[in-house]
Every structure is written in C-alpha cells, then in structure tokens.
A and B are shown apart, each in its own frame.
Chain A
Amino acid sequence: MSNRVGEHTVTFSRGPRIISSHTVVGPLEGEGPYALDFDEILPDDELGQKTPEKTERLMLEIVLEKTLQKRNTKIDDVQFIIAGDLLNQITTSTLASSTFAAPFLGVYGACSTFAEAMGLAATLLQGDFAEQVLIGTASHYQTAERQYRYPIELNVQHISSNQHTVTGAGAALLGFSDQGPQVTHATFGAIVDMGLKDAQDMGSAMAPAAFSTIKQHLKDTGRSLEDYDMVLTGDLGKQGRKMLRILLTKEGVPGLERLQDGGSQIYSESQKAGAGGSGAACIAVMTLGYGLNMLKYHKAQRILIVATGALLSPLTVLQGESIPCIAHAIALEA
C-alpha cells in the first residue's frame, strides 16, 4: 500500500494533472465577484430548454464537450467518465454522458461530488487503469429547489441560513502531461453525523465533516494549514464557515487566514443569496475557475480543496432523520 499516507489519505506519485477544464455558470453567478474566473457565463438560465432539468443536462454536456475540445482529445482516448449531480438517480449525469461513448461511473456526494470524482480519477490514473479520465458535475438552482425544497412556483420565502444552489457546471480532464496543476493527495472523508436535522441550515451540519477531513488530512500528511496558500472549503456558506473556524480554533490549528469558502464567496453581499452558494457545481466552478487561476498566475503554489456534502434526501428530512455529511479533500500543486 505504497500509495497511502496515514489513515485516510492516498497520494499520487505518478503526478496526474488537470490537463484541461471548462466551467459555465448562470447569469447570477456571472454577476458575482468571481465572474472573471469562469470560462463561460450563460446569458440566461434556460438555454432555450423547456425544463430546468434539460438545461442542467445541456450545461453538463457543454462542459464535457469543451473540456475535450480544449485539449483536442476525442472521447475514444478517455478511459472513464466520472460524473454526478444532485438530482434523483443522478439523471443529469447519465443523460448527459449518454452521448459520450466511454465507460461511465456515476458518483453521488451531494455538493462534494466534484472532489470525490477528482479523487477517484486520480486514483485510477495512479493505478495505471487509465491514461485520461473525464470528470464533471452540474447543478441548477431551479432543479435543486424543486427537488429539495419547494416548487419555484410557490415562491416560498428563503431564510438567511438557506443556501442558493449554484447554476453551473464544471468538467475537467485528468491525465499525464507536463503542464497543468498536479493532484498530489486525496483524503476521502468518513461520514460525519452530529445529529443536526435542520435542512434549512446545511452549512452548520457540514462544518464538522469539513473539520474532521481537514484534521485527518493534516495528520496523515504531516502538514499544517500554513503549508497551503489557500484552503478552499465548499460550500459551507456563512454559517458553516463560522462554525468550521470555531472548531479549528478550539483545536488550536494555526493558519486560519488561509481558509476560504467557495459557497460564501461566489455571490456578493448585495446579491442577497442567503448564506451563500451550494450545489454540486459550486465547488467545481470555484476550483476549476478561481482555484486553477490562482495556481496558473502564481498567486498560490499549493491549494487544498475541501468539498463538503450534506447527504440528505427530501424523504429522510420528512421522516426526521439527521443529516449525514461528508467532506473530501484534494491537494493541488502548480
């Protein structure tokens, strides 16, 4: 087990890299503070489709296709597609991937899906099971809203701890090259369930998962937060970000100024998006947009992505179950 360090972390000595990526976001995200980091900002959140589910699927197809195009790669040269999204039975991913004739692995980690896919892709590459792996996730405000909360038509008021699902999609091609950010470590998190039941405040439920994975990652690798130029959590939102800081402070972990949160930052204060962004696309577009630009323009040398997911379903919420949460950490180096 030479590819393992510590208890939960795997390391990739062969140096798989993100060799191509593409992000699209909806108009609201395109008005946010990170607009310039995204590849494409959609003029509207429908794209001429009849339903938002179709739009979500189309967005995923667009990013998968453009990621391949940028690298001039055909789907035949890709050994695996790993994709996931928020909808029941991850239909967005399966429908979008049906046009790509490559072995498909569907993953679900709610908003952490992207990091799970990236960790698995790097593992497949390290194990010499693949030369190139395509990963992608998408989410849409309207589809998530009607599956997890209320139909949009009902126009239910949002409370301040609600997070706003990001409309967007991100895809990346992982492979071997001498360029692009290198995936060095992945710490797959264990499920953390602190018994929180409030589906209106998922940030607070996810913070302990982020805390546990960060602690595990630092312990396994022998690093501290200060070894990273940026630790991008996502998408804890304003509530969860606060709670994570409290937990890390109590533990006496130094370097809290390195912490950033994709969910709390993707929208500006004036956009009134509750506690911030969430959704499978949130950490995907923040990593592939903002994170990769930080590495590309040498503002950061090494970053840690900690993607968090609240693994609830509308049914478990109604049945009074608590919210199991997860966080996966991926270390990237320029």
Chain B
Amino acid sequence: MPLPWRLEGGSCLQYIIAFLVGGAICAVGQLIIDTTKCSNAHLLVGMVCVGAVLSGLGLYEPFQEFAGAGALVPVLGFGSSITKGMLSEIQRLGWEGLFTGAFEITGLGLAASIVFSSILALLRKPHK
C-alpha cells in the first residue's frame, strides 16, 4: 500500500522528507569524520557495508520507500543496491549470483562515474 504522501508524480512533502533524510545521513557521516579517527575511506566503505547489511536484513527497503531519493542517493543506497543485485542474481543463477550480482545494479553508477570523471579530467584542471 502506498504511503499517503507518495502521491502520483510526487508531492512537496516527499521532496522535503528526501532532503531531510539524505541530509541526516550525510550529517552522521560528517560527525564521524569530525569526532573519530576514521578516514574518508573508512567511512565510505563502512557506509556501503551498513547499507548492504541493512538491505540483506530487509530493513533498507521500507526505509527507501519512506525516504525515496534521500535513502537512495547517499552511499548507503549503493550498499543496498549491491545486496539487491546479488539476491536477484542468486535467484536467477544460484550461487554464481554471489559473484555476478554485486555490480548488477551498481554497474550503471560505477561506469557512469568513471566515464564522466574521465571526460571532466580531460576537459578541466582539478581544483587545488
């Protein structure tokens, strides 16, 4: 059953929720960077793992339903997509899905970021 604010075409409230939830996830990341000895790499990998585990436990899906892009865009969503891709490939192929599934959904994002950053690196000088 769709939640009351998930109206056809999206309502204003939906945008606000996505903004607040996405911002809250980023704020947690910033707090971890500021208050612990974690490096950016630790945080990035940690967030992906948390997303993947939550998704595996079936907890990320309802959260994503509630927050929309606010849950999908941060790197937690990337972790969740890894698990989702894996689960669907396992159903299709069996155990081989563990190996083919990780990039099933995330492959698009990975390839796009490599292609676009390569193009930009050719066109522009990096910021100092």
How many residues from B make CB contacts under 8 Å with A? 7
Complex: A153 Cα to B118 Cα, angstroms: 13
Query: A197's closest neighbor in chain B, by CB?
Result: B37
Q: Report yes or no: A198 in contact with B37, Cβ–Cβ below 8 A.
A: yes
Complex: A142 Cα to B40 Cα, angstroms: 19
CB-contacts of B72-92 with A (<8 A): none
Q: Report yes or no: A153 in contact with B40, Cβ–Cβ below 8 A.
A: no
Q: Report yes or no: A155 in contact with B34, Cβ–Cβ below 8 A.
A: no
Q: Report the minimum CB–CB distance from B120 to chain A (whole Å).
A: 11
Set A154, A159, A198: member contacting B34, Cβ < 8 A: A159
Query: A159's closest neighbor in chain B, by CB?
Result: B34
* A153: B residues at CB distance < 8 A: 126-127
* A152: B residues at CB distance < 8 A: 126-128
* B20: A residues at CB distance < 8 A: none
Q: Report the minimum CB–CB distance from A72 to chain B (whole Å).
A: 38
Q: Report the minimum CB–CB distance from B128 to chain A (whole Å).
A: 6
Interface string of A147-162 (1 = CB under 8 A from B): 0001011111101000
CB-contacts of A135-174 with B (<8 A): 142, 150, 152-157, 159
A residues adjacent to B (C-beta < 8 A): 45, 142, 150, 152-157, 159, 198, 200
B residues adjacent to A (C-beta < 8 A): 33-34, 37, 40, 126-128
New A-B pairs, 12, CB < 8 Å, besides A45-B128, A152-B126, A200-B37: A142-B128, A150-B40, A152-B127, A152-B128, A153-B126, A153-B127, A154-B40, A155-B127, A156-B40, A157-B33, A159-B34, A198-B37
